[in-house]
Structure 1
Amino acid sequence: MLLVIHVMLGVIWLTQSVEACPDSCKCSQKSRPGRSEVNCHKRGLLTFPSNLPADSWILKLGENGITHLKAAVLKAVPKIESLNLERNAIKSIHPQAFSGAKDLMLLKLYGNHITTLPPRGLQELRNLRFLMLGQNEIGSVKPNMFVGLKNLSELDLPLNSLSSLQANVFKPLIVLKVLDLSMNHITTISPKAFTGLRQLLFLNLDNNSMKTLPAGVFKPLRSLEMLVLDNNLLRTLGTTVLDGLANLQELYLRNNELESLPPDMFRKTPLLSQLALSGNRLKNLDGNSFASLTDMKKLHLHDNPWNCDCNISSLVQYLGQTQSIVSPSLRCVTPQSLHGKTISALRADQIPCPAR
């Protein structure tokens, strides 16, 4: 690399010229010498550019028309740490496409036409931290797709075509912290789907099509702090569904089809501080099930068809004594005599008990 010394008014500084740069791109060294940032964003490229600076560490190729990633596309840039290929038209990735990119930390493939990842195609990316695969057409994921990604921290797979999760599919991802599987078509999950994810903190399964969850499916997730299950078709939850989640702090079950909850459902989640159950079909709920949740700060229960007979008495009692922030305007739907009444304001002598 050529160093040019400038002298002007007694001030001396160094300017570095980049030896090579694709014609349609802009190459610069904004951070420090020996590390080029290559900006080819929205330049009408149809193929992966050649003639890249050997010291490239950031490569921006978003919003082009690249359709295929051939073998060793990063061979000439061994120092690359960040590669953005979002919103291209990528359909296929050669198994050796990322060969030699041992320093790559961020790979963005969001918004392409990828249907599958090549087996062991990412195995040389030993330092990859962030893998963004959202808004593609991936129909299934298998363990061999993630082999070698022992340092991956975040895996984003929303807006794909996943319909199921098989056993051990994420097992190679031993330090994964964030897993986003939202807005797919997932209906079934193997009881061992999350095996190996001992450090996972956040799991997002929002907007899928699950009707049930296998017993103990989340048990391997002993570090999990936030679980999002909103906008599914869940009708029932087993008593062991939250087993293993001793560190869970936030649980979101909004807009499902739940009609009831197991009375001891939260006995193994003592740190739960936010719980969202709004938009379900709950008619009553045992207020005693929240007794062990001493850290509860926010409880969302609105938009449920509450039946205000004596089965709701324990919930009324809980609402009257809790310091948590509870959804406003929890109102009775039935019986007709209490329709529209605020639940928290009900007196014991107002609550009817059906004849037995």
Structure 2
Amino acid sequence: MDRTEVLLKLLCLLVCLLPILHACPQNCHCHGGDLQHVICDNVGLRKIPKVSEQTRLLNLQRNNFPVLPTNGFRDLKNLVSLHLQHSHIKEISSGAFRGLKQLVYLYLSNNDISVIKMGAFDDLTEITYLYLDHNKIPDLPKGLLSPMINLFILQLGNNKLRELKAGAFHGAKDLRWLYLSNNSISSIHPAALEDVENLAVFHLDKNQLTSYPAAAMSKLRVVEELKLSHNSIKVIPDLAFQSFGRYMETLSMDNMGLEKFSDKAFFGVTTLKTVHIENNKLSSLPGNFPFIRLETLTLSNNPWHCSCQLAPLRRWLESSRSRPDAACASPSQARGQQIRDAAVLRSCKLPTRRSKKGSRH
């Protein structure tokens, strides 16, 4: 082989390698192999860079993309994880993620997103984890989330949502964890949750609800953790948790100004382990409050009325290892005493459980 042939072969090899050599954008870090990662964290980018079609993870956080354009990622057919946090995003165009049919993780937290055009999430049929928290999203129009048939976790905390309309989660039938904390939600349409009946974790704390959304909540079937803290709800109605009472283990309703649980509020609740109801205006608990499996109960800063109605609570407090604080506010002779120690409760007889013998039901 003469020198000319060698040079030609080297030149050909170099030409073949050029696309690979230039696949990593300037100032970014790239890792090759089957799981190729492209890291462009905080490198001053103002438009989506060109990267290899083989890229599996693309980290573009802490850059500057005010508008995510249509087809901005269209060639990245193998992308699994896309990071766009802290990137000053204000608007997501229709078809912005078109072509990303393998994407599983999408991180859009801590931006200024206030506009999401219909069709923005087209092609995201494999998306499982979507993080949109800490933005300025005002609304969830019907159909926006429809392509996401495999969505499992949706984080929408710290946005500007004011209501949940019918069909807000249409299509997201596999959604299991929904976080809506710290929005401005004051109303939930009765049909808003009918598409996500399999929710297991539902956080609605720090919103502006003034009544328990019973009609919407009755569509849920398997909620294990419900958080309603910091909403101005005064009364929890009968059968509030009945549709998912066999599954609910954690209930947070602290700091609500809550005055009363209706007599049958906990009807059907059988697996409750943790309850937070501190910093409210409760003076009593309903007769069917589910103490049987309860492990943790926080109930301080409530004006408890220490009558025999609280005898089941006193019995639970005596057996609890955590010894939570719970002081009587009335009657006057018991004021300030811990419920577990209150003399006024010592002579109370606990209600006996009715025998089910002979029952056909």
Question: TM-score, normalized by length of structure 2?
Answer: 0.86
Shift of 1:44: 1.1
**How many angstroms does 1:327 deviate by?**
5.3
Aligned to 1:111: 110
Q: Deviations over 1:284-317 (max 9, x none)?
A: 223x322x55222112211111233xxx312134
Q: Is structure 2 residue 38 aligned with structure 1 residue 43?
A: no
Q: Which amino acid aligns with 1:320?
A: R
Q: CA RMSD in A?
A: 2.2
How far is the alpha carbon of 1:351 from its aligned partner?
A: 9.0
AA aligned opposite 1:216: A
Q: State the Cα distance separating 1:58 from its structure 2 match.
A: 0.3
1:199-214 alignment, distance < 5 Å: 199-214=198-213
Q: Which of the numbers 332, 335, 339 marks the counterpart of 1:336?
A: 332
The answer for the alignment partner of 1:127 in structure 2 is 126
Structure 1 length as normaliser, TM-score?
0.87
Q: 1:142 to 1:324 in 2, by over 3 A?
A: farther
Question: Which residue number in structure 1 is paired with residue 309 of structure 2?
Answer: 314
Which deviations, in whole Å up to 9, do the C-alpha atoms of 1:66-115 show, x marking residues without a partner?
Answer: 11111111122211110000011111112111111100001111011111
The answer (yes or no) to whether the contact 1:150–1:173 under 8 Å persists in 2 is yes
Q: Are residues 273 and 216 of structure 1, via their aligned partners in 2, closer, same or farther at CA, if it must alter by over 3 Å?
A: farther
Local SS of the residue matching 1:95: coil
Identity %: 27
What stretches of structure 1 of length at least 5 have no aligned partner?
1-16
The equivalent residue for 1:8 is none
CA deviation vs aligned residue, 1:98-147 (integer Å, no higher than 9, x gap): 11110000111101111132213213111000110011110111221101
Q: Secondary structure at the match of 1:258?
A: coil
Q: Deviations over 1:178-212 (max 9, x none)?
A: 10000111111112211121321100011111110
- The answer to whether the Cα contact below 8 Å between 2:284 and 2:309 also exists between their aligned partners in 1 is no
State how far apart, in whole Å, the 1-side matches of 2:65 and 2:24 are.
18
Secondary structure of 1:318's counterpart equals helix
Q: Which runs of 5+ in 2 are unaligned?
A: 1-19, 349-361
C-alpha separation between the residues in 1 aligned to 2:154 and 2:264? 32
Aligned length: 329
Query: 1:12 is matched with which residue?
Result: none
Query: Is residue 263 of structure 1 aligned with residue 263 of structure 2?
Result: yes
**1:241 maps to which residue?**
240
Change (3 A) 1:18 1:295: farther
SS in 2 for 1:143: coil
Aligned residue number for residue 54 of structure 1: 53
User: Where is the helix percentage greater, Structure 1 or Structure 2?
Assistant: 2
Pick which of 166-175 and 99-108 moved more.
166-175
Deviation at 1:338, TM superposition (A): 2.3
SS of residue matched to 1:289: coil
